[in-house]
Amino acid sequence: MVSLNPLSPSICISLLISILLLCVTGASSSPAPNATKIGKGYRLISIEETSGGGLLGYLQVKQKNNIYGPDIPLWQLYVKHETENRLRVHITDAKKQRWELPHDLLPREKPPALKQTIGRSRESPTSVSEYTGSELVFTYKADPFSFAVKRKSNGQTLFNTSSSESDPFGELVFKDQYLEISTKLPKDASLYGLGERTQPHGIKLYPNDPYTLYTTDIAAYNLNIDLYGSHPVYLDLRNVGSEPSAHAVLLLNSNGMDVFYRGTSLTYKVIGGVFDFYFFGGPTPLDVVNQYTSLIGRPAPMPYWTFGFHQCRWGYHNLSVVEDVVENYKKAQIPLDVIWTDDDHMDARKDFTLSPVNFPRPKLLDFLDRIHKLGMKYIVIVDPGIGVNSTYGVYQRGIANDVFIKYDGEPYVAQVWPGAVHFPDFLNPKTVSWWGDEIRRFHELVPVDGLWIDMNEASNFCTGRCTIPKDRKCPGTGPDYMCCLDCKNLTMTRWDDPPYKINVLGQEAPIGYKTIATSAVHYNGVLEYDAHSIYGFSEAVATHKALQRLQGKRPFVLSRSTFVGSGKYAAHWTGDNKGTWEDLRYSVTTMLNFGIFGVPMVGSDICGFYPAPTEELCNRWIEVGAFYPFSRDHANRRSPRQEFYQWDSVAKSARNALGIRYKILPYLYTLNYEAHKTGAPIARPLFFSFPSYSECYGLSTQFLLGSSLMISPVLEQGKTQVKALFPPGTWYSFLDLTQTIVSKDGVDVTLDAPLHVVNVHLYQNTILPIQQGGLLSKEARMTPFTLIITFPSEASEGQAKGNLYVDDDEQPEMLLGNGYSTYVDFYATVKQGSVKVWSQVQEGKFALDQGLVIEKLTVLGLDGNGGAPSAIEFDGKPIAGVSKVEVTAQEQTFHMESQEDGQKKTMMVEVKGLKIPVGENFVMNWKMGI
């Protein structure tokens, strides 16, 4: 749900914002990217090594000016190689502590404390010097000060702040409310990230598009505008001489900023905080995300059931409607694991309450008892705004505990769905405790299985400083998203009207527009001006902590607003989209971006949040959405019903696509484990697996799950074929494993894609564990396994690998050694017609106790010219004559567009009727053509 529309709580706000902004700001006017250069920069006056192995220096302004305010005269520079592949460059005011992201929200090393007096350096700064680590090298020039970061292995310059007369940017600038720094870039660098926004040009950053980072409640169907999250990190992929290398740059700063990307340079213009840069050396994209999430926090482990399908709607007005939805999914034989309600379950839209009329507690508890016994789950929404109501216990306890953001010493008044609200201050430890207690109280009332935290940018229907009117009812008879408080704009402070105007909402809107006033105050005097973009992040941390403490189980939190590190605590959906073909395409890009941001559990509202999708679009959308890591249908209360069973054709597409999803659940869950351990995205751009294949660098219409399962969906109206790019290697159709595509140097292939078909292909060298599927993940995960093993077609020798993680789904951490999990590595080789498949099991007891077994092996790409398999052995013993074991061989066919003359015959071999315990090591061998 969003905030501004009778059509949708999100859409309402979005439409209204667009209209009101014209009144507030006039016509659109973007800040000029090539504005006048500011100042002459700084000179390095001293530098020395620290006892901890870093560099500590001081920088003095060369020539003062008052553009955007006075210069900070003296900076402290701190540089350190924190790991072999991570370099930090931290620059702050040498005399005065400035705002930085709190260390309790994102733990990290602290730079040296500020000195009261600046003594002489033991070492006079030379004009150019360097500080070398294992892979990254920091070099600097003293006057005017600039620095560069280089890669030792190939000499590439990754970041370079030096400025010449011909450059469109100037020297470093450091003022209280304006910080500017730039880097040069080679023309062939492909950049990704800097989110969150809906990018019409695809996953690669597009020169001269606006990149503003400031959390804002505006619908995701708005293009190139700052949306719900702020992620000031980018991944840079370069391919020089067919040697690809990737690195990433994070500016850890929560203040609003514009980033100007011109293709050959990138400039940050930030309205507060410090320069706190982290450089991650890669060199592969997976290495980069691993290094990035090792700093910001590994993605949260998700419960198994969260990878099932979710159904939601803003407008399930009473419990009987919810019950009907669950029953209709069952009748239509469409998988469903989780049912959600928006604010419909609440009493007068107040958090942590139940409507006694529409969701009477005894009937709701009976319903939850029934679905919980089946293995289904129930999740509800929570908005941060707490209704101002003297009879409301949550409000009373909040006031008593002094947990709300303040303005002039009193709780700040805003308006959201319940009417007048106060916003909890999640930077206050007392608020975190109070919030946890309210979640506990609500869980005792309703045993929900997760929480959905929305409107947490934070969204406000009003702007400025407001009071509750005494002469009229608020909300009144007008639209529920229209401001009805008595408000006055705040422009008298430099926090509400800073000297530099970032491009908020694409209109240079006031930074306090439709959110908390930026001169409002948090715990310990922290200004909303500084903390604005971490509001949703801090709420996610508090909510995750509360749910984990509640029962000691693995929590599930879905958050709309995110920041650097949010993935450690929450999943994300991409907010208010439209039911259009364009929005379907955009959803792929946004999903892939969030994998780079360290938030791998992500998806968009399937079929669109608003308005009504066409039947054809909904068919095609579930064929994409079934492969989002987070797969949920969600719609607006004013839109027609769009559950998949509403159309026979969509129901069929849902059964087909979700049927595949529920078979590959063990693969998705193992990717969840890998994400938690290494940060690896679940859904990935193709360049993650094929960094040498530059043709896929901008590809935004296909994606990978893990390293080797490729989805090539139909994203255009009226199409029954799809043109798909196949990077070099052998690919097997998941729908028909005998269908093979061999791509020697990369090839475009036109694939048939009738209405109910989505093309999924499995890459060579893979062992994919799948199960038989079902209508519930709880049932599907107990069915026998098949191992699909893919060798390169026609190769006389080949190898394949895969893995599997299974656990009890409830332990807070995904780890081995606790007795509640098993991890298996699978291996296979083929050499001169001899095939070997084996496993190596860690902590097998859990899988053995669960009775999990492998029933079938399917091996693809074997040389079929010599005949069928024979002499099959299992753990060194022949299995010939063993009852129920069946061996079949079938010739594979090649797609015409990839077929070459003289192609050899390849075979698919299946061994069925096995009962191999997942929790035990095994070895299986056979020979082809004897």
287 part of the active site? no
**Which candidate, 187, 166, 168, places its Cα nearest to that of 33?**
168
Residue 240 burial class via C-beta count within 10 angstroms: exposed 0-12, middle 13-18, buried 19 and up = exposed
Amino acid at 160: N
CB 227 within 8 A of CB 586: no
Instruction: Identify any residues that bridge with 364 across adjacent strands, giving them in sequence order.
Output: none
- Residue 443, SS3 per DSSP: helix
457 part of the active site? yes
As a whole number of angstroms, the distance between CA 508 and CA 26 comes to: 10
Q: Which two tokens stand for residue 331?
A: 């009748």
236 part of the active site? no
As a whole number of angstroms, the distance between CA 351 and CA 662 comes to: 34
Amino acid at 813: E
CB 418 within 8 A of CB 407: no
**Which candidate, 314, 198, 211, 227, places its Cα nearest to that of 580?**
198
Spell out the residues 6+ positions from residue 868 whose beta carbon is closer than 8 angstroms to its own: 887, 889, 907, 909, 928, 929
Q: Which two tokens stand for residue 596?
A: 């780079």
As a whole number of angstroms, the distance between CA 781 and CA 776 comes to: 9
- Active-site option among 135, 383, 454, 496: 454
- Active-site option among 457, 528, 623, 809: 457
As a whole number of angstroms, the distance between CA 634 and CA 220 comes to: 14
Q: Which two tokens stand for residue 180?
A: 């500017």
**Which candidate, 157, 195, 163, places its Cα nearest to that of 267?**
163
- Active-site option among 171, 576, 605, 809: 576
As a whole number of angstroms, the distance between CA 54 and CA 78 comes to: 7
**Residue 557: C-alpha distances to residues 59, 452, 486 (Å):** 44, 6, 34
Q: What secondary structure letter does DSSP report for 100?
A: -
Exposure pattern of 384-418 as b/e (b: 16+ CB <10 Å)? bbbbbbeebebbeebeebebbbbbeeebbbbbbbb
Spell out the residues 6+ positions from residue 117 whose beta carbon is closer than 8 angstroms to its own: none
Helix (H) or strand (E) holding 430: helix 429-445
As a whole number of angstroms, the distance between CA 814 and CA 807 comes to: 8
- Residue 216, SS3 per DSSP: coil
Spell out the residues 6+ positions from residue 639 whose beta carbon is closer than 8 angstroms to its own: 7, 8, 579, 609, 610, 611, 612
CB 808 within 8 A of CB 301: no
As a whole number of angstroms, the distance between CA 750 and CA 753 comes to: 9
Cα 65-69-74 angle, rounded to 5 deg:
70
Per DSSP, helices labelled H in 731-852 are: 777-780, 845-850
Instruction: Give the pairing of strands 797-807 and 821-831.
Output: antiparallel
Residues annotated as part of the active site = 454, 457, 576
